[in-house]
Structure 1
Amino acid sequence: MNKAFAVVVCLYCSFTLAAAPVKLKVSPGQQQPVTLSRLHLNRIVTPFSAPQIRTIDQADIRIEGSVIYLSSQQEEPFVVYITPHDSEAHALSLLVTLLDVPPKEIQLSLSKQWQQKMNRNKEAAKRFEEAGDYQQSITELLSMLVKGQVPEGYELEKFYKADIRHCQQDGLTFDFSKGQVVQGHYFRVLVGTARNATEKPLTFHEKNCQGSHTTAVAMWPKNTLHPGQRRELFILLNTPDQESAPVVRPSLLTY
């Protein structure tokens, strides 16, 4: 056989035998086992526009758009949780095993059951928020939350460090380490606590918890805290639909 021809044949064989992307449909509450390369960078394509990833493994992780690049030398299998950037209610759970194999590409998609559930929740939350005018919806939402109720379609989630909105007021300490996130369609509520660390009564001022998307701030049951007293704090954020949200021009007077 001609050597040049043999080389071409060999290269062609190597190309055709390269691992094809692995396509997986995932469902909530189910852990999906996957095999990745220990020797190379792996590529995980997610159904989320800006995914977040959480794992106890000391993996090298980079996120580009909807794609996660992951490499690791971990000997034992480990779990990876992947969530959308705006919700922790549902997570894709992968049980990763690393082998000495070529680099892998995993393409994840949501099961039909999961998509339907998420769509139903979004529609129910949207109906609740659009049932009255804007101010009425905010008042009703906060009123339900202070009573320990969650509106239909809303998701109650754990509070992660990335979600913290800094509140600052002399004499008060704000704690979101065990906080909650209540996610709706247009609204998202962060729940934490405030404590009076002084030896005199203090009045909390809502303006001390402002951010670019902050719509309302409330303390329950009152804004006044006695020495050592703790109260729940609610920060309501407006998270408009990305496709229909108008572009907002910031005033030059705010700088």
Structure 2
Amino acid sequence: MNKAFAVVVCLYCSLTQAAAPVKLQVSPGQQQPVTLSRLHLNRIVTPFTAPQIRTIDQADIRIEGSVIYLSSQQEEPFVVYITPHDSEAHALSLLVTPLDVPPKEIQLSLSKQWQQKINHNKEVAKRFEEASDYQQVMTEVLSMLVKGQIPEGYELSNIHKPDIQHCQQDGLVFDYSRGQVVQGHYFKVLVGTAKNATEKPLIFHEKNCQGSHTAAVAMWPKNTLHPGQRRELFILLNTPDQESAPVVRPSLLTY
């Protein structure tokens, strides 16, 4: 074989290998190191129907169906968290190292152990929610949470900005900096606090926390707040059916 031709063949082989998708099996709670292109668009295929992504990096991020397109000119490593659209309980953590390499495709899959755990918890929560009528289940869920209990199959995690329910009432300061998300099957509860920032007593009105998926709002232990007083705020949301989440076809003219 001609030596020059052999070099070209080897170069072609290396480029082909570099362009091949990288398949990774990941588990929530375990950080997975990955390398991505620093100057090109990367493609991350997730195991979630409509993933959400969070990172402090100033990255260009686009989500199309279950796929995340990510590019960043940052030189230092950064962390990316990927979660299902309907739950914050399970986050896939990627430690991204940007390098001057060709664009990459990363295909993520959940470990069998974690997939079974997620499916089991969702089924338990579903059975719990279907055991009573709609109003009774909401009352029971909120009643358990104010007592510090977690309903069957529900999972507790920290709240993230996209989940924050915007409440507005003069004199009250709503705080989710240490907020919680309690995720079931049909329901998700956001827990934050409200503080009376005035010098007179105030009565909280639930209607000031209404949203498109809001099913119930409760303040514990009372709706009356004295000056400087804080109370826990519980906002129960209907969870959109994951199976009905829209899958978007990427435009051929986008990239």
User: Does the alignment reach a TM-score above 0.5?
Assistant: yes
Check 1:82–1:242 CA distance in 2 against 1; reply closer, same or farther (3 A cut).
Answer: closer
CA–CA separation in structure 2 for the residues paired with 1:79 and 1:177: 20
Gaps of 5+ in 2: 1-8, 246-255
Post-superposition Cα deviations, 1:96-150, rounded to whole Å, max 9, x if no partner, equal 2233322111111111111100001101111211122211111111111001111
Task: Measure, in 1, the Cα distance between the counterparts of 2:218 and 2:121.
Answer: 25
Equivalent position of 1:204 in the other structure: 204
1:3-18 alignment to 2 at 5 Å?
A: none
Cα RMSD, aligned residues only? 2.7
- The aligned residue for residue 144 of structure 2 is 144
Secondary structure of the residue aligned to 2:168 is coil
Alignment of 1:70-219 (within 5 A): 70-219=70-219
SS in 2 for 1:222: coil
Percent sequence identity over aligned pairs: 89
Q: How far has the Cα of 1:157 moved from its partner?
A: 1.3
1:156, distance to aligned residue in structure 2 (A): 0.9
Q: CA separation of 1:14/1:90 partners in 2, compared to 1, >3 Å: closer, same or farther? A: closer
> 1:203, 1:223 within 8 Å by CA — same for their partners in 2?
yes
In structure 1, list runs of 5 or more residues that go unmatched: 1-8, 246-255
Bigger Rg, which one: 1
Output the amino acid matched with 1:237. L
CA distance in 2, matches of 1:29, 1:14: 33
1:206 counterpart letter in structure 2 = E
Cα separation, 1, equivalents of 2:209 and 2:86: 20
Q: Given the superposition, is the C-alpha separation of residues 174 and 95 from structure 1 closer, same or farther in structure 2, using an over 3 Å criterion?
A: closer
Q: Deviations over 1:167-213 (max 9, x none)?
A: 22222222222211111100111111122222222222212211111
Q: How does 1:43-82 map to 2 (within 5 A)?
A: 43-82=43-82
Q: Structure 2 vs 1, CA of residues 243 and 50 (structure 1 numbering), >3 Å: closer, same or farther?
A: closer
In the superposition, the TM-score normalised over structure 1's length comes to 0.84
Counterpart residue type for residue 58 of structure 2: Q
TM-score where L is the length of structure 2: 0.84
Does the aligned pair in 2 maintain the 1:32–1:93 contact within 8 Å? Answer: yes
1:252 paired residue number: none
Does the aligned pair in 1 maintain the 2:77–2:95 contact within 8 Å?
yes
Decide whether the 8 Å contact of 1:161 with 1:177 is kept in 2: no
In structure 2, give the amino acid aligned to 1:61: I
| Secondary structure of the corresponding residue to residue 102 of structure 2 | coil
Contact 2:86 2:240 in 1 (8 A): no
Point out 4+ residue stretches in structure 1 off by more than 3 angstroms. Answer: 9-18, 242-245
Instruction: Report how far residue 162 of structure 1 moved.
Output: 1.5
